[in-house]
Amino acid sequence: MGFFDNLKNQFGSQWIEIIEWLDQTNDTLVYRFPVYNQEIKMGAQLIVRENQVALFINEGKAADLFTPGRYELQTQNMPILTTLRGWKYGFQSPFKAEVYFFNTKLFTDLKWGTQNPVMMRDAEFGMIRIRAFGTYAMRVSDAKTFFQTVVGTQGLTTTEDILGQLRSTILSRLSDALAESKIPALDLASNYDELSDLAKKKLAADFAGYGIDLSRFFIENVSLPEEVEAAIDQRTRLGVLGNHLNQYAQMQAADSIKIAAGNPGGLAGAGAGLGAGVAIGNMMGGAFNQQASSSAAPPPPPSGAAPPPPPSAPSAARWSLAIDGKTYGPYTDDALRTMLRNGQVESSTPAWRPGANGWAPVNTYPELESGNTPPPPPPPFNK
């Protein structure tokens, strides 16, 4: 047994003779070689595999960097560490140093997303909150810079911690990109590629400052608040209806009355529910019906609520209904007959049309009875 073997047995020290990293995970960015209290033998073998670089650290400072290959550690191939250690005339004894391996392969399909909504100003909807998510791809391009800005200063060594820091940077810059793009909320979905390119350009400089190359960046989805999506859906429906806004108003009113009739309070409980169902329809119907020749309006209902002006043409929507002190309509003759026939409106409901003296029950208007009167028998058939 030699002298150095006796030293190992007495003091439990162990000199490291082979330094390498066999990555079994394929998703680790940084690996710290377990030196701790062990010492690296001068002349030890350093093996750096493809898609790896090895960085020697001396007292927290980045020293010598080794690219893929096999090295025998000597003072000649560790010039920075030799200078920092003061090995002016060569050195052969064991030494202590930290060794970090960095995975330089391209990491793809990395996820990012907004945990909290991002505020943006939209020309049509004002201040709105949006959420977004997507993927990106990156690789470590400068191991020394990456160590100095991420690993060393912030103490981050696990992949999840490092990616969490990068996601924070992404969300910060994405907010700026959305604001500077000035793309309306309605057009975000059709501009994902443009937004992705803009965000990538803004993020590239930040990632480069970390020693990372941002190879790809994709926005997969931008979701709007529910109330904004509801407004967009409403506009879509109106666009499909085109000039048939009168029919849309009547449909909304009929559906609301039908729902109210199904409640325990019946039509007496229509109230706000009915008003909410037809408010938009009334305004739109009134706006498109201003082309009618007559400007006659129904008298106020018992509660004194101000009704919208309906058209007076017999073939157009002309019937107004008074329910719980509020005015609803106007409806066409056929629409009102249908509501009467389906039980959505009671026959005693006060109604008015242009030319009438005042409010009167629906069943007192002869022109509405024709909808419920069966046709006369057919004429005799002569052979």
What is the domain-level CATH number for residue 219?
3.30.479.30
| More confident position, 305 or 59 | 59
Question: Do both 161 and 212 map to the same domain?
Answer: yes
How does strand 52-58 pair with strand 30-33? Answer: unpaired
Neighbours of 71 (CB within 10 A): 17
- List the end-to-end C-alpha distance of the chain, in Å, as a whole number: 135
Question: Do both 52 and 169 map to the same domain?
Answer: no
Burial of 258 (0-12, 13-18, 19+ CB in 10 A): middle
Q: Which of 84, 103, 122 is the last residue of a domain?
A: 103
94 Cβ partners below 8 Å, 6+ apart?
15, 39, 40, 41, 42
My answer on whether omega of the bond before 309 falls inside 30° of 0, hence cis, is no
CA atoms within 13 A on the CB side of 81: 26
Rounded CA-CA distance 213/139 in Å is: 5
Counting residues of the chain whose pLDDT is more than 90, the rounded percentage is 24
For residue 289, pLDDT beyond 70: no
226 Cβ partners below 8 Å, 6+ apart?
none
Question: Do both 91 and 18 map to the same domain?
Answer: yes
Question: Do both 44 and 121 map to the same domain?
Answer: no
Chain segment 71-102, per-residue pLDDT in tens = 999 998 999 999 988 887 777 788 888 999 99
For residue 338, pLDDT beyond 60: yes
For residue 275, pLDDT beyond 50: no
Tell me whether residue 332 is in a domain. Answer: yes
pTM score, whole prediction: 0.57
Residue 44 in 3-state DSSP? Answer: strand
Tell me whether residue 231 is in a domain. Answer: no
Question: Do both 90 and 165 map to the same domain?
Answer: no
| More confident position, 17 or 253 | 17
Chain segment 16-65, per-residue pLDDT in tens = 889 999 988 878 899 999 876 678 988 999 999 999 999 999 988 899 99
Tell me whether residue 111 is in a domain. Answer: yes
Question: Do both 72 and 114 map to the same domain?
Answer: no
Question: Do both 115 and 213 map to the same domain?
Answer: yes
DSSP code at position 102: E
